[in-house]
Structure 1
Amino acid sequence: MKRKKITCEIARTISIVKTLATLGHFPTKETEKEAWFLSVLRSETQASFKVSKLINRWYDHGNGMGGNVIDLIVLVLKYSVKEALEFLGNDSPLFSFQQQTLFSDLPKAIQQKETKITIVRTKTIEHPALIQYLRSRQIPLEIAKRCCSEVWYRNHGKTFFAIGLENHLGGWELRNKFFKNCSSPKSYTYLTKGKKQLIIVEGMFDLLSLAVLDKMLIYESDIIVLNSIAFINGVVQLLKKYQKVLLLLDNDSNGNKITTYLLDQYKNVIDQSCVYLNYKDLNEKLIDGII
């Protein structure tokens, strides 16, 4: 289907809130005048990404960046302005800023139905685009197949596919070259084999990278993938049952804070971030080591 062409002037009227919903991002707090999101440009645990509904502009308080919906698509998807206009032109009939009042008048049940990610099917990873994406992250297909699936899902009436990691409540973390999404219920992933040692990592690609870098460690351990630092409170009750808990969290402010806290509270916790010293995470180390 041929994409629609729109001008910058028209594109700037397209609702940022609805565009973010298309990309799988939803507000943690919302009023008639504004909506607050976890930043779509960086990792954080408290929402500091603000969208003004009155002027249809966004501002990230964490990095001082802001702008209109075109600027946002250029940054999030790493598109050119031309590509951003094509993307927005394809979605604009549903998400025009000028149509927000009409949309907000719909019953809440209908609104939720329109924004909910629905899993269509899961299968063994075989789509060429997903295999290429794994290669770009230096993850062998056979390793990805062991704990991930190819997941097809619908969002706003459109069908997408991604590499999926299921969490312990049955929701999915979804990743492809362009989007980071997740389906409800959102939670951490718990891979238990009755081992006496537990590994805690932040994301799907940390798990996959560790499987490449240290297969034996994966074999000898139960594993928790947080999927979001925000879920750390949900896993702390599990730590006492293990003789040893190895932390491999991101080398950033949030990861360091959680690591410091857990080291102070639990004698069986060991920080292993030295394994990827000078790198943000395991995948960054893996990519640099191979390239």
Structure 2
Amino acid sequence: MTQLLNSTQLKEQASIVELLSRLGYEPVKKYGKEHMYRSMLRDGDNDPSFSVDDRIGAWYDHGNGKGGNIIDFGIAYWPTLNFNEVVEKIQTACNISPIRKEYRARLPVKARNYVIEQVKALGTHPAITGYLQGRGIFDLAKSHLSEVYYHVKNEKGEKKQFFAAGWKNESGSWEVRNKYFKGCLGQKAISFIHGDPKRAAVFEGFINYLSWLKDNPKSDYSIIILNTLSLLNEGISRAKQFTFIDLYLDRDNSGFQATKQFTQSLPYAADKSSAYEKFNDYNDKLVAMLRPPPANDPFERNRRNLSV
């Protein structure tokens, strides 16, 4: 059996661009260090909407709003495999050996590419406000999230400015998100909110947690936010201290596989994703509920006729 690297070693030594090339995918366009592909995670992507920035080891699929590091990609690309099998697949595809620790395919620490310039209260930047309002969580987000302003330098030393909604994880790094990007400034880690010492709810990301909180404003559950499925094992380890565990992971192949692994490790954990059964995640349900019904909806038309 292949000796596996840990997740930190793999992210430092493996290149997403190299992995995609080994899998038979080449970029359609390049903008400096940014590579654009037709998405291999979805059918019918005629325009390149899958972005990879190998300087920071991150990818983002603009078509489905998913993104993350190389392990997150592996989980999405091989949804039927468990975490260790995904790591082995990546390691084998990229021909990485645990003894080749000197190899570096990209800058090893993502935080070194970033300089955080300012952190402000929500409500300052209209684009961030509009993004969270569109997600239906702005009012709740004001007490949980901040506006993070940062820049990254390209290979010519030129600054590129960014801003996003952000929250801190347990490593003290910022998980950031806006309409076009989902990532981490620094070291990836879970986020934990202390509450009931016996009960915990588990989410993939903060947006879904706040969506759930909107439906459960009086809940005192402790909260575990994975921030990436590559930290699933850490989330399971943290959840062991609780007697009751509710799982609110995505209803896609990766989420179902993660839920299965969680319940196999902790059989008393309960899959609660039926709360958004017809949707991919909790926020998708919330956003759908906020949309006005279409004008030609016969049920809405009948309702209006009955009200006059």
Structures share a fold, TM > 0.5? yes
Is the 8 Å Cα contact of residues 191 and 224 (structure 1) preserved in structure 2? yes
- The answer for the alignment partner of 2:19 in structure 1 is 36
Distance 1:113-1:275 versus aligned 2 partners, 3 A rule: closer
Secondary structure of the residue aligned to 1:241 is: coil
- The answer for the alignment partner of 1:227 in structure 2 is 227
Q: Is 1:211 paired with 2:213?
A: yes
Q: In 2, distance between residues paired with 1:257 and 1:177?
A: 27
Is the 8 Å Cα contact of residues 189 and 224 (structure 1) preserved in structure 2? yes
TM-superposition CA deviations, 1:146-170 (whole Å, max 9, x none): 2111111111212211100211101
Task: Tell me the number of residue pairs that the alignment of Structure 1 and Structure 2 aligns.
Answer: 221
TM-superposition CA deviations, 1:46-83 (whole Å, max 9, x none): x9694469x98746544467889x6657x9557xxxxx
- The answer for the alignment partner of 1:98 in structure 2 is none
- The answer for the alignment partner of 2:115 in structure 1 is 118
- The answer for the alignment partner of 1:153 in structure 2 is 150
- The answer for the alignment partner of 1:11 in structure 2 is none
Is the 8 Å Cα contact of residues 200 and 246 (structure 2) preserved in structure 1? yes
- The answer for the alignment partner of 1:288 in structure 2 is 288
Secondary structure of the residue aligned to 1:235 is: helix
TM-superposition CA deviations, 1:216-258 (whole Å, max 9, x none): 23xx111111111111111222222111111000001111111
Q: In 2, distance between residues paired with 1:222 and 1:49?
A: 43
Is the 8 Å Cα contact of residues 139 and 209 (structure 1) preserved in structure 2? yes
- The answer for the alignment partner of 1:138 in structure 2 is 136
TM-score by length of 1: 0.65
Distance 1:116-1:271 versus aligned 2 partners, 3 A rule: same
- Deviation for aligned residue 1:134: 1.0
Is the 8 Å Cα contact of residues 37 and 49 (structure 2) preserved in structure 1? no
- The answer for the alignment partner of 1:177 in structure 2 is 179
Secondary structure of the residue aligned to 2:142 is: helix
Q: Tell me the amino acid that sits aligned with residue 122 of structure 2.
A: I
Q: Which has the higher helix share?
A: 1
TM-superposition CA deviations, 1:1-59 (whole Å, max 9, x none): xxxxxxxxxxxxxxxxxxxxxxxxx997239xx5236xxxxxxxxx9694469x98746
Structure 1: runs of 5 or more not aligned: 1-25, 38-46, 79-107
- The answer for the alignment partner of 1:88 in structure 2 is none
Is the 8 Å Cα contact of residues 204 and 227 (structure 2) preserved in structure 1? yes
TM-score by length of 2: 0.61
Q: In 2, distance between residues paired with 1:239 and 1:65?
A: 39
- The answer for the alignment partner of 1:195 in structure 2 is 197
Q: In 1, distance between residues paired with 2:110 and 2:271?
A: 42
